[in-house]
Structures are given as structure tokens and as C-alpha cells.
A and B are shown apart, each in its own frame.
Chain A
Amino acid sequence: MRPWKSLTVVAILLSGLAARAPAASPPEPVTMKVTPSVISMGTFYSGARVHVEGTVPQASDVIIDVRGPETIEVFNKVGRAGPIWVNTGKVSISGIPTLLLVFSTRPVHNCLCRSEIDRCELDAAAIKSKIKIEPRAMASEVVADEFLKLKYRQKSYQLANTGIQMEDPAEVGQHYTLDFIWPKNAAPGTYVVRVCACQGGNVEDSLEAPLKVVEVGFPAMIADLAKDRPATYGIISVVVAVLAGFGIDFITTRIFKKKISAH
């Protein structure tokens, strides 16, 4: 075989191999499934177990946060006046979510750099920097700290820094799961669940999904009536309470009479 023929064959084989080799793979997408996607608050509701699962690119850290809408909360600030504690003024606090639950594979500050934690509002320092306190004269570190303490006590804020389970890397990304107890006293509304895939101290990709909490059945009926037809609701409340009182009186009187006559 002549040398140029050998070279041609080698070139054809190499080009064939090159054609068969995979192209530079696209980044694996972040996926997420929240179960249930709607939490129903029925008569015997006492919180719910929420399951989150999905995939992230391999070698990523995962942070999942659940947050409620922003609102304005008004408080009386308490101070000492002699032997007693009195209100020293009103403070209005806004700019932060009503509910914040943060879960991660490792402590958040090990997954992300400071600027990313602040941007995504994922720890107490980041939240404190977002708090807006009015009037400004009352704004202080103490008020912000007290507000956060109150939120932790109400279990509206839970910065767990753990909780996410990672499974062995699969062909497409890495599988994660998270199970957590939904705070039973969280108000009805739409909350946002966000998963962040973190690499090299940055959020590489993220995905959001809504988690709805709705009243259903008898509680929904009562709540709607109270809100939409307050006068009718007021009259119904009075009439039902009076009937309940006289009804119980009637029943207990019968019971006591029977006991007396039995003796």
C-alpha cells in the first residue's frame, strides 16, 4: 500500500471517530417537583409534610428556600419606665418575607459567597440588611434583632442549613430530595419554593415553583362569610351562640332531671 493511501485511510477513520464522538454536552438542567403543590386547610388541618425532589448538575450544592410574600407589620416598641415596661412608640417593619424556610446540603456560607447570599437573602445577616424600619429614628440593630427573634419563635423563619439528601450521581445530573413539615400556623396564600444549584460560590441555576395554601370546606365557608358578608356573619354568630347556650341548657336540664328522678 502506498503511503498516501495509508494516510487517507487513517484520516477517514479518524474523521469517522470524530463524527461518532459526543459533542460538548449542554449543562444539565435543574428540575424540581413539589408534593403536594396545594396544601388544603380543612377542619382538622394541622400542618402538612412537604416533599421536594429533582435534579441538579453534578457536583453542585443545593439550597432550597420557601418564602412568603412581603408585608408590612406594625409593632409597639417596649421600653422600661421606672418599675414597669411601657410602649415607647410604634415601629413599622417591611421589606422582608412573612415566611422564610431555608434548607441546604451544607451550611449556606460554605456553598455561596457573601454577595450571592445577600442577593438571594438566604441568612439572617442578609435578611437584616433588607429590613425597612419606619420611622427611621426608631431603626436600630436591636429592633431588627428583636424582629428576627420573634419570627424564629413563631417558626415563621427556619434557617436549617441542612435537610437536603443527595443521591449518587446519575447519568443526567444528581438527584436530591427534601422532606419538611409545613408550619401549621402559616397563613393561606401562595408561597414560592426555589431551588438553587450552587458551584464555586455562585448560584449557577435556579428554579421556582408556587406552593399554594388554601382553606377548603367548612373553614373556607366561614372565612369567606366573615370577610364578604360581615353583617350577616355577625347576626349568624349571635343567633348560633344563643341557640347553642339554650340548647345545652335544655339538654343538661333533662340530664339532671333524669338523675334526680332516678334517685
Chain B
Amino acid sequence: MPVFLPVAGISISLPLLVGVGALIGFLSGLFGVGGGFLLTPILMLVGIPPTVAAASDSCQIIATSSSGTAAHSRMGNVDVKLGTVLLLGGLAGGAVGVRIIRVLLGLGDADLAIKLTYVIVLSGIGGYMFWESLTSLKRGALEMRVPHLARGRDILSRLPFQMDFPRSKVRHSVVIPLLLGGLVGVLAAIMGVGGGFIMIPMMVYLLWTPMHVAVGTSLFQILFTCAGVTFMQAQTNHTVDLLLALLLAAGSTIGVQVGARMSRLLRGDQLRILLALLVLLVTARMVFGLARTPRSLLRPADEHGGAGKMHLVRHVAVHRALPNTTRN
């Protein structure tokens, strides 16, 4: 059954969109990631213009993360205090990231810089998380707290503005989550995603937040980040397709509920190793994409922002309207 997407300007299978949404929602509920880093490439693969795919992703992530936040909140997995501090840092970092993107665009190949950032960040995080989780699984630990990093706790505990985060059962300087949120914000802006897949490992390994709380808190923070991004994309680029977002959300909000419940059946280290594998898989796909001979030597130039090509076509078409049949 086809459905016509008004902003993307294309017709696409309705079950396909709902199914893709359900898969991404499931991963989102399970790991606390927004899913943008997986969904945007999938949507581009099924023919959605890149700018519309990225902007509509943000909109559907709002639905997924609000559903996921509600589910995790009932299970006591959302640290609102920590989430708010991370969000403030993330907003500041996001603003810096947008400026960096502007500089990169001015220099020329922002596309390559973005892809290389993806590969470096994802392989680093995925590799470390995989190694650590494997070690933890081998030891049979229930909820390992990364002992060798705990040595750094003494140093961090001497920093000013110490604050208690009772839900996460940790105490550390407010500067740390602010900086962490800022760093994730910069990376998220450069990479064009919500940043959950960077945020969760950072929260677990640097803020010592329990994995389940990290998942719930990450969704809480992503909800607000994506709300801001969606509004800005709609206002600046006119690339948010609400119908596309709602169809994806119809699948993803159900998927996220199943994922959130399944996350309670798995131990923290099991969740971490699954997320690590997912991150490494995405990295491998990106490396393959960089090395593989492209199908075409021309790529649409608006993949990372700017007004959609479709709108230009539509604008010109309207102004060339022919009144009647004409003979030459």
C-alpha cells in the first residue's frame, strides 16, 4: 500500500516505513539511542532525499524518545537532574558544532571530515565498549564499574561544584557532565545525529552511571535536543516531512516499548556488548562506503543541509505553467 510523502515529494510503501520505524524503535528502547545514525542511511537507501531524511528523523525521534522516556521513567531509569545538566552542555556544544560545520563547509570537503569523524569516534567507542564488555562477561560480573577508570575518580572528586545525582547513585563535579554534554553536542552537530550512541558509553564509562539509568536519561536528553533540531529544520530548511515522521513513529513507538521491556531482561554488560557490536557494524559499513567505488561520480550537494533540491524544482515548475494547448 503506497503513501505519498508531501515534503519529500515521493510515493513509498506504507508497511515498509512502519517496519523500519519499528526496528529503529526497538533498538532505541533497548539501547537508549535515538537511532538517527541508523535511520538516516536506511531512509536514503529507500529513496528519501537526504535533507528530508535527516530532518524527519529528528521529528520521529521526538515521538520515540518521549515514548521511551515515559516507559523508562516508570521503571526509575531517568535521572532528570543529570539529564538536565547534560542537556545544557549539549546545547552549548551543539552551537559550537554548528560553527565548526560552517568553517568546514567554507574550507571545502565537510563531507569527508564528517565521515572520518564518524569512523574515528564510532570505532573508538565501539572497540573499547566491546573489549570492556567481553572482559566483563568473561568474569561474570553483574554490573561492572570499569575498575581501571575508577582510579581517575580520586582526581575528579577534587574538582569544584560537586553534586549528588541520587538516581544514578553517583557524586561528581557538575563540570564533568557539562563538558561531556558539550563534547557530545559538538560531535552530534558535526555528525548530524542526536548523539545517544556517543552519550551512553560516555555516561557509563566517565560518569559511572548504571547502564539502565544511562539509557533512560539519554532518551530524556535526546527528546529535548531533537525538539530543538526539528523546529530549526522546519523553519530554516522546510525539510521536515510530518507524515513520514508520524509513520516512522507509529512503528518506532511500539518498537521502543518492546525494546525498553527487553532491556530489563538483559544484564548491563550484555546490553553494552550488543550496542558495541551495532556501533562497530555501522563503522564497518562507513569504512566500506568510503573505500567502495561509488555508483555515480556525482552526489547531490545538499546531503548535509541547505534547502532541498525538490523545492527548487517545484518552484521553477510552477513558474513555467502553460495555460493551454499550443501549436508550434
Contact = CB atoms under 8 A, between A and B. Distances in A.
Interface residues of A, number: 78
Given A41-B4, A46-B11, A230 B234 contact: yes
B240 A226 contact: yes
B328 A206 contact: yes
A223 B6 contact: yes
A221 to B, nearest CB: 8
Interface in B283-328: 290-302, 309-314, 316-328
A169 interface: no
A72 B312 contact: yes
A219 B243 contact: yes
B3 interface: yes
Interface in A74-131: 74-79, 83-87, 90-91, 98
A240 B234 CA distance: 14
Nearest to B55: A237
A242 interface: yes
Contacts, number: 249
- Chain B, interface size: which category? 35 or more
B11 A147 contact: no
The interface centre, meaning the residue of A69, A209, A235 with most chain B CB atoms within 10 A of its CB, is A69
A147 B301 CA distance: 13
Given A87-B111, A190-B320, A74 B301 contact: yes
B62 A241 contact: yes
Contacts of A210: 321-325
Interface string A215-240: 10011101100110011011111101
Interface residue SS majority, chain A: mixed
Contacts of B5: 219
B231 interface: yes
A84 B328 CA distance: 51
Contact of A68 (B74, B317, B326): B317
A65 to B, nearest CB: 12
Contacts of A79: 297
A147 B298 contact: yes
A43 B299 contact: no
B230 A241 contact: yes
B122 interface: no
A32 interface: yes
Interface string A5-26: 0000000000000000000000
B63 interface: yes
Nearest to B236: A230
The interface centre, meaning the residue of B68, B292, B313 with most chain A CB atoms within 10 A of its CB, is B313
Given A76-B298, A98-B317, A248-B67, 18 more contacts: A41-B11, A46-B2, A74-B300, A85-B290, A87-B299, A143-B297, A187-B314, A210-B321, A215-B4, A223-B6, A233-B242, A234-B230, A237-B231, A238-B62, A241-B245, A242-B63, A242-B227, A248-B253
Interface of B: 1-7, 9-11, 47, 59-60, 62-68, 70-71, 74, 108-109, 111-112, 223, 227, 230-236, 238, 240-243, 245-246, 249-250, 253-254, 257, 261, 290-302, 309-314, 316-328
26 contacts: A44-B4, A70-B316, A74-B300, A78-B294, A78-B299, A87-B299, A142-B297, A146-B296, A146-B297, A147-B298, A153-B295, A190-B320, A207-B326, A208-B326, A210-B322, A230-B238, A236-B242, A237-B231, A238-B59, A240-B242, A242-B223, A244-B250, A245-B63, A248-B253, A249-B67, A252-B253
